[in-house]
Structure 1
Amino acid sequence: MAGRSGRTVRDLRRGNRAAVLQRLYFDGPMSRFELGPATGLSSGSISNVVAELVADGLVEEAGSVDSDGGRPRTLLRVAPASGHMIGVDVGETRVRVELFDLALTELARAERVLEHQRYDVGVVVGHIRDGVAEVLAAADLDPGRLLGVGIGVPGIVERTSDRGAVVHGQTIGWDAVPLESLLRESRLLPDGVPYFTDNGAKTLGQAEMWFGAGRGAHSTIVVLFGSGVGACLVTDDVEQGRAVEWGHLTVRVRGRRCRCGALGCLEAYAGAEALLERWREEGGRPPAGADEETALAAMLAAAYPADGAAPDPVALAVLEETAEYLGAGLSDLINLFQPERILIGGWAGLRLGSRFLPAVRRYAASYALRHPAESVTVDLGALGPDAVTVGAAILPLADFFVQGGRRPEPAAREVPLPVWRTALEERAPH
Structure 2
Amino acid sequence: MSTTPRHMSLGAFLMATGHHVAAWRHPDVPANAGLDIQHYRHLARVAEGACFDALFVADSVAAAEGEIASRMARSDHFEPLTLLSALSGVTERIGLVATATTTYNEPYHVARKFASLDHLSGGRAGWNLVTSDAAAEALNFGRDEHVGHADRYVRAREFHQVVVGLWDSWADDAFVRDKNSGTYYKPEKVRLLNHHGEHFKVRGPLNVARTPQGRPVVVQAGSSPAGLDLAARTADVVFTAQTSLAAAQAFYADLKGRLGAYGRSRDSLKIMPGVFIVVGESQAEAEDKFAGFQELVEPEVGVALLGRMLGNFDLSGYPLDGPLPDLPLTDSGQRSRQQLLSDLAKRENLNLAQLGRRIAGGRGHHSLIGTPAQIADQLQEWFENDAADGFNVLVPHLPGGLEDVASHVVPELQRRGLFRTHYEGRTLRDHLGLSRPNNPFFS
Structure of higher CA gyration radius? 1
Give the alignment's TM-score, normalised by structure 1: 0.30
Identify the structure with bigger relative contact order (alpha carbons < 8 Å, sequence gap 6+).
2
User: Which has a greater percent of strand?
Assistant: 1
